[in-house]
Chains A and B, each alone.
Chain A
Amino acid sequence: MEAIYQYAWLVPVLPLVGAMLVGLGLISFNQVTNRARQLNAVFVVSLLGAAMFLSVALLVSQFQGHAPYIRTLEWAAAGNFHLTMGYTIDHLTALMLVIVTTVAFLVMVYTDGYMAHDPGYVRFYAYLSLFSSSMLGLVVSPNIVQIYIFWELVGMCSYLLVGFWYDRQAAADACQKAFVTNRVGDFGLLLGILGLYWATGSFEFEAIGDRLQILVETGSLSGLLAGLFAILVFLGPVAKSAQFPLHVWLPDAMEGPTPISALIHAATMVAAGVFLIARMYPVFEGIPAAMNVIAFTGAFTAFLGATIAITQNDIKKGLAYSTISQLGYMVMAMGVGAYSAGLFHLMTHAYFKAMLFLGSGSVIHGMEAVVGHDPALAQDMRMMGGLRKFMPITAITFLIGTLAISGIPPFAGFWSKDEILGSAFAANPFLWFVGWATAGITAFYMFRMYFSTFEGKFRGNQSEIRQKLKSAAANTLMSPSPLAPNFGPGAMDTRELAALSDDSHGHGHSEHPHESPRTMTLPLIALAIPSILIGLVGTPYANYFEEFIYPPSETLAEVMEKVAEFDQTEFFIMAGSSVGISLIGITLASLMYLFGKIDPAAIASSIKPLYELSLNKWYFDDIYHRFFVLGSRRLARQVMEVDYRVVDGAVNLTGFFTLISGEGLKYLENGRAQFYALIVFGAVLGLVIVFGVT
């Protein structure tokens, strides 16, 4: 058994090798590499497959009770300072390794179908492999600096993948927004790491936690400062896991190809924030203020995401806000001390949300056959409807995912969400209430999505809807926001005209969407299995999950004791109320979008302010644009003015300077430069010699 631990470093390294070889091929022998499309894909996928098997072996070994394994080597040193890097395999790592590798593996298989016609097919595989490697490196990190390193690397991969279609302006904006927003979080994380190192002299999670505890208890470090450090560290997860107020990048990140939305922006990278909180749990646990901040941030984000998701028409954007909301649940769970429940939800969510995203990709793939390669049309649910007839596998798996996320037993999401809500109720009934209400909204918007995509009549050929959406898209293209600078008078008309006349052009080659190829449906089916069943490892009757994943501060005996305390009536009350509200949400959605008994437009107009608030994403983008984007631009321009006029002007002694540069050089230029080189050089040499002689 020891051997698999000694070679565990291969798990992140194998995908890295794949990425490097394919990347080198692309740079050096571009055409040859690009021609061998599926050869590259098979190479990359099989390396990841090997990593997956190793990960499963590690999980099995950990589950059988193998002791945690750490291996490090010195990475950087200066004097007495030593920084080590390496890998650690414990319960949490083993679990995350399996989640990441399985989802990544299935997404890679799916990619073959989804990106089949894309000229960047091979490059996409290289990026995917690089991302997988970084993400796996993150979860095996034995100390916080290494986490930070991979934390940024997954951010860079996300940047590259969101901007994958670099000729699209929206993608270009989105990838920059994602990176910069994440850097704001990393800024906090970096400061937090520095602060904790200053206080405790360590980068190891448990050592930091223990020493911080002692420092605060003995009074040599003020509790306020400790709390501040913890919250700074938490800023990292706020950005990475798209929590309020740094959630704005995630919906825009949907500009990337759908497979990466599933892998990075639903299942793995965004969950890294929750993983970091789990890793840093020894630090957070001892600081109640930080725990409260985490819990309330999570709860508010869950609510915020869900309320925005209600009104989204873009199927991917809707799922993105739903991801924000579900990440909010996980963070809230961490904040109320439900360590295991939060990670349980991370696992179930990874599977069912990856499936939902891949399903949406399958829908988009099908729609593109009808409406052409235009994200404004192919992703808009107003163009869809009735797709169940054309793509049954996608529809069924999407329905499974919808049921799972809505918390209907016995699907996976029910068990994990219920556990979170139960813990939240014990900690603070208000938090429970927010989570409970959000569960209802979740069921509503997810079924809205399902009904308007897969049920009813197919609307993809109605040209008036298409016209409307196209001109709307052209409008937003023209000015992404009313506050954005205008691009001049010419742009306005031509774009709009182009959008209208483009219609015949944009037509796909088919009247109806079709089911996706097998490489795409197989991963969907494969993901459906855990989406249905994986919740069963964490039922309150037999909670294997909690016995495996528990906070580092607790012992297994304590956990067992807690599990044994399980109260059946309490469980039924909690579960009943959350299933109840979900059913209400589903009923409402079916009345509005399936049977057409209630007109959504009428409701929207009757609560117009609330509708507008949701539609405009609570105006976060507008406010941020005005204050941060335009503000920083203005500030930069002002500083530049100062630099140009004041600093440069003053130091320059403007008048004197123009004289020299104008007159002096006019004279100099006529001659031969070689001669002057000699003169200046001679002068310097002469100076030294003159000094030497005297």
Chain B
Amino acid sequence: MLSTQIPWLTTIILLPLVAALAIPLIPDNQGKTVRWYALGVGIADLILMVYAVWQNYDLQISTFQLAESYPWIPQLGMNWSVAVDGLSLPLVLLTGFITTLSILAAWNVTKKPRLFFALMLMMYSAQIGVFVAQDMLLFFLMWELELVPVYLLISIWGGQNRRYAATKFILYTAAGSIFILVAAFAMAMYGDVVTFDMATLGIKQYPRAFELLVYAALLIAFGVKLPIFPLHTWLPDAHSEASAPVSMILAGVLLKMAGYGLIRMNIEMLPNAHVSFAPILAILGVVNIVYGALTAFAQTNLKRRLAYSSIAHMGFVLIGIASFTELGIGGAVLQMVSHGLIAASLFFLSGVTYERTHTLIMEKMGGMAQAMPKVFALFTAGAMASLALPGMSGFVGELTIFLGITTSDAYNPMFKVVVTLLAAVGVILTPIYLLSMLRQVFYGNENSGIVIEEYLGDAKPREVFIAACLLLPIIGIGMYPKLATQTYDVKTVAVAAQVRQVLPTVIAQKQRSPLYSTALVAPQLAVPESQVLIASE
């Protein structure tokens, strides 16, 4: 009984932050102690999470669990209110997992190690805070709190162009996040009760125009982060300049904050507006997929290519969110988890490569498989996962999203055909850019121009370990998706049910988009027949 009284989530959020503030007390300038300290904190927090969930979380319940709420600024109605549900849970675990591994990946940081690890731990806290905050203002605070470490991590430990990239990052995302604040205040102030509690805000009834405006504001904020075309251009710069551990977190966790926000706020709190915006999201998703893939193919820089592939993959999340089906929304969550793992592994491996070659320009590499076969093998596995090879998690995510959009009865068939077809073009384009990346970097004769650091050689056990840690869940989920889906399934079903509930009423109104189907059941489908068949079997 004791375990239920412990403020689990608060502890989990605050542990890394407090630990980060204690780093100046550690008497060590070489970074040898501090990295063990940071790793220890990371692992401890991860264990704490897993234990808290194991003991106190019931997977069969779709509502919030482990909830805590303490008044923080009562004048404003702001509470320290945190809780997890099926939507938060997989992403919180993902955060703990990826951040801990990225601390291990940053083992060789020699420049200002204490500050580096302090920032990593701060980021750890902020990310978890984002995923569990149940108060709009707390959410915003956590969202901002995470920007600062990323900014500094890029601008101090980045590559040649780090200041440009870091500034661009902070300008884009800070400008974007202002919209969250505006939306939060608008919703909080509306009506009689002033509150930032998300659940209460979700129940409030807003006028249609107001809801659309708030939705649009949040869409811009999350659109920068996800990123959605045309707000994506900070991402390739940030990725190509950030060091590998930071890229791992950037691609592995940060982008997911936007996907999470879209489901948590745009769908759950503003379902009416979502019905109006969903076709746009689907179109943007398709644009992301095709545009991201084509641009990725044209990149000559390894990390920029991977960055654009992230844009393409996040397009699937948008389509899933827009699908109005359990499959699609569940697929969006799965795609986020899976992309987090896959992108982290690819960025990590590109960092491993960079440490040895000191270049990211693929044309300068070539034939590196001979010198580093292990890196080659791991990179191939990561690329295969990224191109949605079955047996790995990316495939399950994309397949469920495809099934979600094709079986969605909300859209008219023509729209569905176009969206599915164009999204499937991504299925062809993805292997083109990923395999030609492998070909340019690893295949062929050894490139005489490239100098591989002799003392490093092939992947070290630590590096193999990190990559293996990432590949293991990728393959595990791919082999048996229920491992991941059961953590969120009841919740995404509830979300889909909620948004489908408002679908008929909104469609019945005049604002109905021509892209929706006229009746909710696709007319061509002759559902009765197939049901008769099922019954007769």
Q: Tell whether B436 is near chain A: CB-to-CB under 8 Å.
A: yes
Identify which of residues 97-117 in chain A touch chain B, using a CB-to-CB cut-off of 8 Å: none
Q: Which residues of B contact A195 (CB under 8 A)?
A: 406
Task: Write the A140-160 contact mask toward B (1 if CB under 8 angstroms, else 0).
Answer: 000001001110110010011
Q: Tell whether A639 is near chain B: CB-to-CB under 8 Å.
A: yes
Judge whether B445 and A194 touch: CB under 8 Å.
Answer: no
Judge whether B431 and A183 touch: CB under 8 Å.
Answer: yes
- Contacting B152 at CB < 8 Å: which of A187, A194, A651, A673? A673
CA distance A218 to B403 in the complex (A): 25
Identify which of residues 402-445 in chain B touch chain A, using a CB-to-CB cut-off of 8 Å: 402-403, 406-407, 420-421, 424-425, 427-428, 431-432, 435-436, 439, 442-445
CA distance A150 to B395 in the complex (A): 12
How far, in Å, is B490 (CB) from chain A's closest CB?
9
CA distance A166 to B327 in the complex (A): 40
Q: Which residues of A contact B76 (CB under 8 A)?
A: 691-692
Chain B, interface residues (CB within 8 Å), range: 35 or more
CA distance A238 to B145 in the complex (A): 53
Judge whether A176 and B485 touch: CB under 8 Å.
Answer: no
Judge whether A176 and B377 touch: CB under 8 Å.
Answer: no
Judge whether B443 and A166 touch: CB under 8 Å.
Answer: yes
Q: Tell whether B164 is near chain A: CB-to-CB under 8 Å.
A: yes
Judge whether B78 and A78 touch: CB under 8 Å.
Answer: no
Task: Write the B476-496 contact mask toward A (1 if CB under 8 angstroms, else 0).
Answer: 000011100100010011001
CA distance A639 to B294 in the complex (A): 7
Q: Which residue of A lies closest to B400 (CB)?
A: A78
- Contacting B406 at CB < 8 Å: which of A145, A187, A198, A633? A198
Q: Which residues of A contact B468 (CB under 8 A)?
A: 27
Task: Write the A178-213 contact mask toward B (1 if CB under 8 angstroms, else 0).
Answer: 011001101100110011011111100001001100
Q: Which residues of B contact A684 (CB under 8 A)?
A: 141, 144-145, 148
Q: Tell whether A664 is near chain B: CB-to-CB under 8 Å.
A: yes
CA distance A632 to B496 in the complex (A): 38
Q: Tell whether B68 is near chain A: CB-to-CB under 8 Å.
A: no
Judge whether B489 and A27 touch: CB under 8 Å.
Answer: no
How far, in Å, is B478 (CB) from chain A's closest CB?
9
Q: Tell whether B357 is near chain A: CB-to-CB under 8 Å.
A: no
Task: Write the B324-355 contact mask toward A (1 if CB under 8 angstroms, else 0).
Answer: 00110011000000000000000000000000
Judge whether A639 and B489 touch: CB under 8 Å.
Answer: no
CA distance A684 to B177 in the complex (A): 12
Task: Write the A117-157 contact mask toward B (1 if CB under 8 angstroms, else 0).
Answer: 00000000000000000000000000001001110110010
How far, in Å, is B349 (CB) from chain A's closest CB?
14
Q: Which residues of B contact A77 (CB under 8 A)?
A: 482, 485, 489
Count of interface residues, chain A, beta-carbon cutoff 8 Å? 89
Describe B's contact surface by its main secondary structure. Answer: helix
- Contacting B327 at CB < 8 Å: which of A75, A78, A149, A152? A78
Judge whether A194 and B489 touch: CB under 8 Å.
Answer: no
Q: Which residues of B contact A533 (CB under 8 A)?
A: none
Judge whether A78 and B526 touch: CB under 8 Å.
Answer: no
How far, in Å, is A150 (CB) from chain B's closest CB?
7
Q: A76-B396, A78-B492 are in contact. Are A680 and B151 (CB under 8 A)?
A: yes
Q: Which residues of B contact A76 (CB under 8 A)?
A: 396, 400, 481-482, 485
Judge whether B389 and A152 touch: CB under 8 Å.
Answer: yes
CA distance A428 to B151 in the complex (A): 71
Judge whether A639 and B400 touch: CB under 8 Å.
Answer: no
CA distance A201 to B75 in the complex (A): 55
Judge whether A183 and B389 touch: CB under 8 Å.
Answer: no
Q: Tell whether B361 is near chain A: CB-to-CB under 8 Å.
A: no
Identify which of residues 398-441 in chain A touch chain B, using a CB-to-CB cut-off of 8 Å: none
Q: Which residue of B lies closest to A677 (CB)?
A: B152
Judge whether A688 and B420 touch: CB under 8 Å.
Answer: no
Q: A637-B298, A643-B295, A647-B233 are in contact. Are A166 and B424 (CB under 8 A)?
A: no
Identify the stretch in A167-175, A548-556, A557-565, A617-625 within 8 Å (CB) of chain B at 4 or more residues.
A167-175
- Contacting A190 at CB < 8 Å: which of B141, B424, B492? B424
Q: Which residues of A contact B389 (CB under 8 A)?
A: 152-153, 156
How far, in Å, is A202 (CB) from chain B's closest CB?
8
- Contacting B148 at CB < 8 Å: which of A30, A145, A681? A681
Judge whether B391 and A153 touch: CB under 8 Å.
Answer: yes
* Residues of B near any A CB (own CB < 8 A): 72-73, 75-76, 78, 112, 115, 119, 137, 141, 144-145, 148-149, 151-152, 155-156, 163-164, 167-168, 171, 229-233, 291, 294-295, 297-299, 326-327, 330-331, 367, 369-370, 373-374, 376-377, 380, 384, 389-391, 395-396, 399-400, 402-403, 406-407, 420-421, 424-425, 427-428, 431-432, 435-436, 439, 442-446, 464, 468, 480-482, 485, 489, 492-493, 496, 522, 524-527, 529-530, 533-534, 537
Given contacts A684-B148, A685-B141, 10 further A-B contacts (CB under 8 A): A75-B481, A77-B482, A149-B390, A215-B526, A221-B526, A637-B298, A661-B167, A677-B148, A692-B75, A692-B76
Q: Would you list 24 pairs from A and B whose C-beta atoms are within 8 A, ordered by A residue? A: A30-B374, A74-B482, A75-B481, A78-B327, A78-B493, A149-B391, A156-B384, A160-B380, A166-B442, A167-B446, A172-B439, A176-B436, A191-B424, A197-B407, A198-B407, A198-B522, A214-B533, A215-B526, A636-B298, A660-B171, A661-B163, A673-B115, A676-B152, A691-B137
Smallest CB-CB A-B distances: 9 pairs: A172-B443, A79-B326, A220-B526, A692-B73, A640-B298, A149-B390, A636-B298, A636-B297, A648-B233
